[in-house]
Chain A
Amino acid sequence: MHGRLYATIVKELWALLRDPRSRILLVVPPVVQLFVIGFATTLEVKNFDVGVYDRDGGAYSREYIERLRGSPNVGRIVSLASPGEVRAAIDERAVIAVVMFDARFSADLAAGRPTVIQAILDGRRSNSSQIVAGYLGDIAAGIGAELRPGPGSAGTAANSESVISHWFNPNLDYLWFAMPSLIVIVGMVTGLAMTAQSVARERELGTFDQLMVSPLRVHEILIGKMVPPLLIGLLNATVYVLIIAFGFGIPLTGSVSLFFVALVFYLLALIGVGMLVSAVSQTQQQAFLGAFLVTVPAVVLSGYATPIDNMPYWLQLVAEGNPSKHFLIVTEGVFLKALPALEILRNTWPLALIALLTLAASSLLFRSRME
């Protein structure tokens, strides 16, 4: 039996690695994705262009514009001369925001009258606009505070203040979050696509029937199909961990060996889901699109793009069945948080359960097709 299993594993590895283009595709795109997605998926707002419609031209509006220019987050400042230009600049997305000063702006401020700066923001990008409005408001508040030192400095609560500390990632570096997450996300995209297509390809070419009539048992065929994606997944994840820890210097604080234990169960869960897709597909095309149809919701419900806590309760329940949700907690934890062993195990057993259920179900499906 050992000889048969060994032979089928060798055959599956050859099937995957024989084509030089497939070999390249298994290793190069994941690394490219790590860099492109890692750097591109930031929800920070930097380097944005702001329009200025200054009907005042006085000392205070110039002071504001100077401070705007000095802000590290602002890209270009565009001078606008009329309401028509303001509208066009926003409409055509030349700027994300326009600040407007009244003709009497500096005079009012100098006379001590409470004054406002109007800002128009692009609601098509409402999330970024809100952050930009925050920056613009901070500059206004800064000028205001210098004009009139804070009201009631002898008041009862004026001397309270907050000390903010960000644990695990003191500078809130977005890369520290994005890079480890991509082990989970890219691993899933590659793993699901690879497994789903393995059986479907044989079926489309008619060679699956040949496998079925060979002396191989169903579980031996399945194990043979599982080994290549498992090995490739382990290889890619190891490369990722090395790049992230040594290339980017992102702290790896937790137990690496427990991380790999959880990784094996994560890959098995992905392979199980991929097998299930493969089992119900007739052609490679169906298998690939089916895997894609599973991947997209799984990415969304992993907690990578937006926190799961913010989703409706019933969707949070659905997310419990999503392998990447659990493994994301492990990965983030092992990199940044020195996650205790107990917490790693608490997120590993659901992976084992998903793997067990999906592999058992696909084994049943294949068996029923054989008879």
Chain B
Amino acid sequence: MSARFEPRRLRAMLLKESLQIVRDPSTFLIAFVLPLILLFLFGYAISLDPQRTRIGLVLEDPGTPAASLAQAFENSRWFEVTGTRDLPALKRDLTAGRVRGIIVIPQDFSRRLQIPGERAQIQIITDGATPNAAGFVAGYAEGVRASWAAAQAASGNAALPLELVARYWFNPDLASHYFLIPGSVVIVMTMIGTLLTALVVAREWERGTMEAIMATPVTMAELLATKVIPYFLLGLVSMALCTSIAIFVFGVPFRGSLLGLLAISSAFLVPALGQGLLISAASKNQFVASQIALISGFLPAMVLSGFMFEIPSMPAPIRLITYLVPARYLVPSLQSVFLVGDLWGLFLRDIGIMLAFGALFFALALRATHRKVA
């Protein structure tokens, strides 16, 4: 079989594939509805920013200092306080998840405060079953107490001898949707490249139409090209949709160039499509292909690409696995093209790695296809 392209044949095949895409409502679902849902959820529902957390406050001490500390908790912008004297009821609320923490100001708090050398303790109880919220409650509640103590001391000499001043480049307002929304582009392109392609081609194998096409004069290279080009374009269209919504609806800054965005997302689609072809050629069955695509494509893009979860924080064996995930190389470049600008040094390195993965996947897919026919 020669690998030459015959323009007329290629055009006819491309037309056939494109019509198939346009006529199938599920393609529309994955290329346009899914991105909208994802962007919407990442824009509104998921937020890693600290927000008001519901806590219970038990004020056992009638003294003035205790009341002013309780007031400090009420006024804090981090907490929504349910005040009560009933600790057992609050403990039940904590178990049921209706509050995330309990602050107890004990009976002898005001009295002990007046005695030098005594420790006037308040109790901070958190719901450790949700470790993030627990850490947040503990940290901010201790912060409320410390700044209350500093304000009470008010002896003027409160300037700290050494302080750290933090400046956040690229995202001074620390808005988490600035990096979550570009991250969702990774998910969308993985879905189109890997999942959709794997399903479509597996269906051809399952129904036997793949063998039918192979029996025609179409060459192997033409066949792969016609499977790949329409989904490549679909992936780019969907990416453009996501980017426009990110910029115009959610106000995510775009500081790089369109060329940079196009280059890195095109480079990512190569391994994504190669993986989809490989899965379908190896499985030839839609159920199997969909499950493998989900586990080898979607989950790694979501969990191991570094877009929500920090790769350096993962245990060493998992960190090693992330090097095999093409999406890992897209996330830094994609976040940079939005928030920083064109960093061609970073882009070219990541593009090179992604294309290498793409070449590997296509070579394997070609071999798997040959073997099936033989």
Contact = CB atoms under 8 A, between A and B. Distances in A.
A296 B34 contact: yes
Contacts of B171: 123-124, 126
Interface stretch (B262-270, B311-319, B360-368): B311-319
A58 interface: no
Contacts of A193: 290-291, 294
Contacts of A57: none
B230 interface: no
A121 B310 CA distance: 15
5 contacts: A40-B314, A117-B165, A124-B171, A160-B109, A177-B131
B347 to A, nearest CB: 10
A234 B49 CA distance: 36
B161 A114 contact: yes
A43 B166 contact: no
A213 interface: no
A174 to B, nearest CB: 5
A309 B294 CA distance: 29
Interface in A267-309: 283-286, 288-290, 292-293, 296-297, 300-301, 305-307, 309
Contact of A121 (B115, B124, B166): B166
Interface string B1-36: 000000000000000000000001110011001100
Chain A: interface size category:
35 or more
Interface SS majority for chain B: helix
B283 interface: yes
B340 interface: yes
A91 B343 contact: yes
B186 to A, nearest CB: 14
Given A155-B155, A164-B138, A312-B44, A47 B312 contact: yes
B373 interface: no
Interface of B: 24-26, 29-30, 33-34, 37-38, 41, 44-49, 51, 53-54, 65, 69, 92, 94-97, 100, 109, 112-135, 138-139, 141-142, 145, 148-149, 152-155, 157-172, 174-176, 178-179, 191, 195-196, 199-200, 203, 283, 285-288, 290-292, 294-295, 298-299, 303-304, 308-310, 312-315, 318, 321, 332, 335-336, 339-340, 343, 345-346
B41 A136 contact: no
Contacts of A128: 310
Contacts of B168: 121-123, 126, 129
Contacts of B340: 91, 124
A293 B34 contact: yes
Given A39-B314, A168-B127, A144 B346 contact: no
